[in-house]
A and B are shown apart, each in its own frame.
Chain A
Amino acid sequence: MTVVMRLENITLEYPVPRQYRKEDVRPSGVRDISLEVKQGEVLGIIGRNGSGKSTLLKMMAGVFPPDSGTISTRGSVSLLAGVGVGFHKELTGRENAYLYGALMGRSTEQIDYLIEEIQSFAELEHHFDRPIRTYSSGMKSRLGISVATSFKPDLLLIDEVLGVGDASFRKKSEERVKEMISESGTVVIVSHSLGMLKTICHRIIVLERGSVRHEGDVELGLDLYVNGQKDTND
């Protein structure tokens, strides 16, 4: 199978605050991770808080440069995380949609083509042409998701996704992401929802304090994660 992304001995460590430096505190981050993402697979990443899941995903998205190691990729990569980052409150929903599209590397023509769909999906109606500062938080999130999910990347990275909006919009965004996963094909997903990972993932990685503890079989990985948590909790 074609390799879409390859990580070789990736390390990124966050600095330890000065007052802790004398004690032997291990810096957080990820250490010496190597892995390949193959075309058409859904790869799940699980681990406790602070185990390095988001850091790993941000490096895969090319946002954080690793301290050492190399990351190589082909095609377009898209990171789905955080709602409304980059929106400007004085601009209208429509203007923000164009700006956001441009941040994702899209041309005005490409956004022209998608704008009606973005508007109808976000269910904002006439509010679409009012400044964002007049929006409720639910409306902002709906606009964010609508813009974010309208572009289809070759490799989709999904980080710790949240539920926003009312029940019917949540269902709609679920459908949309499902659609994105089937269209993009290749997905790396970070989540705490074990049930979902079990149904969609082909392969799973368990991270523990910045290193890979398990890579491969989904059932085994989830088992290891759940039991590992029990052990540490006991």
Chain B
Amino acid sequence: MNRTIASPLCGVAVQVNYMSQVDGDDGLTPLWGKRSLNRLPFIVIGDLVRSRHLLRLLVKRDLNARYRRAYLGYAWAVLEPLLLAVVYTFIFTILVGSSDPLYPVKIIIGVIGWSMFARSLTTSTKSLSNSINLFQFARVPKTVFATSGTLTNAVLALISLSCLIPFYFIHDLPVTWHLLLLPVWLMVLSFTGWGIGLLLAPIACKVPDVLNLINFLVRAGFFLSPVMWTYDMFNTRFGDGWHAVVAHMNPTVIPITGMRDAVLGESSGIPGYGYAMCFGIAIIGFILGAMIFERKAHSAVVNV
């Protein structure tokens, strides 16, 4: 049969490669195979590893897009926490009369740590609703989009850590192997924000109020997390009663304190249950997040 096309045709093609194992007698593979709930976290990780090429391109895209037109470029990643620290130090020394010379350093670390968590949480929560047009045409693992924003922010946070370098000379801070914990704690913060974001993303797609709630939480969390205050200040004020248990339920308290300890070469005497709660929330957040995301994200995109 002669195939000719009489009318103008064009559009965007989205290609799908069905990599999964072939089953059935006729060599056909089901598009939506059955997947047990407890395997979903591993499926998420597997998808991310397989899509690392796309992930890298998306991170590159986000980084390029963010600073390409700015004259100062990536310097903004360093300038932002530095300028914030100047403002907060100014306010805090006037209002509270704090005389701690290391206070600006502590604030910079607090700002970097907190924005890492807040940005991971926000970008992964918004990932589904932001790329909804794309998901209606392309069969790509949706977790890749939830993850690329988090990775982009992790790269920026690592760059912004360099604004601490001058303080090493000013305050003659100790350079020890503890410094290696600095990026580790940053990753813990980003992982926790990402996991909770995965959990919220499909809900945010159906109930946009979640996005407003997240915006509020991020603003309130700034004051409820050790950005302007420190673990020490909290301890002297409240001791280790029930207040401390409640404070440890905030998943940013331990990592930010850990980052400060790593830089200043101190130990804040975080109790064992504090670490347990911090890692517990991170891991449970990821497992639940992966399960809910994989079960709900696909249909959430259909019914928008």
CA gap between A151 and B17 in the complex, in Å: 12
Q: Does B24 contact A (CB under 8 A)?
A: yes
Contact B54 A103 (CB under 8 A): yes
**Cβ contacts under 8 Å, A82 to chain B:** 11-12, 133, 137
Contact B24 A72 (CB under 8 A): yes
Question: Closest CB-CB distance, A215 to chain B, in whole Å?
Answer: 18
Question: Closest CB-CB distance, B1 to chain A, in whole Å?
Answer: 6
CA gap between A127 and B138 in the complex, in Å: 26
Q: Does A118 contact B (CB under 8 A)?
A: no
**Cβ contacts under 8 Å, A193 to chain B:** 6-7
**Cβ contacts under 8 Å, B24 to chain A:** 72
Contact B17 A161 (CB under 8 A): no
Contacts A63-B139, A88-B61, A200-B3; is A102 near B8 (CB within 8 Å)?
no
Question: Closest CB-CB distance, A48 to chain B, in whole Å?
Answer: 19
Q: Does B178 contact A (CB under 8 A)?
A: no
Question: Closest CB-CB distance, B6 to chain A, in whole Å?
Answer: 4
CB-based nearest B residue for A155 = B16
Which residue numbers of A lie inside 8 Å of B, CB to CB?
3, 5-6, 12, 14-15, 42, 58, 61-66, 70-86, 88, 90-91, 95, 98-100, 102-108, 131, 141, 144-145, 147-149, 151, 153, 156, 158-159, 161-165, 170-171, 173-174, 177-178, 181-182, 191, 193, 195-196, 199-200, 202
User: Hey, what's the 0/1 contact readout for B214-237 against A, CB within 8 Å counting as 1?
Assistant: 000000000000000000000000
Question: Closest CB-CB distance, B63 to chain A, in whole Å?
Answer: 11
**Cβ contacts under 8 Å, B212 to chain A:** none
Q: Does B4 contact A (CB under 8 A)?
A: yes
Contact A163 B7 (CB under 8 A): yes
Stretch touching chain A among B25-33, B74-82, B113-121, B285-293: B25-33
CA gap between A162 and B134 in the complex, in Å: 18
CA gap between A58 and B270 in the complex, in Å: 52
Question: Closest CB-CB distance, B301 to chain A, in whole Å?
Answer: 8
Q: Does B15 contact A (CB under 8 A)?
A: yes
Contact A81 B12 (CB under 8 A): yes
Question: Closest CB-CB distance, A199 to chain B, in whole Å?
Answer: 5
Stretch touching chain A among B64-72, B155-163, B276-284: B64-72
Contact A85 B58 (CB under 8 A): no
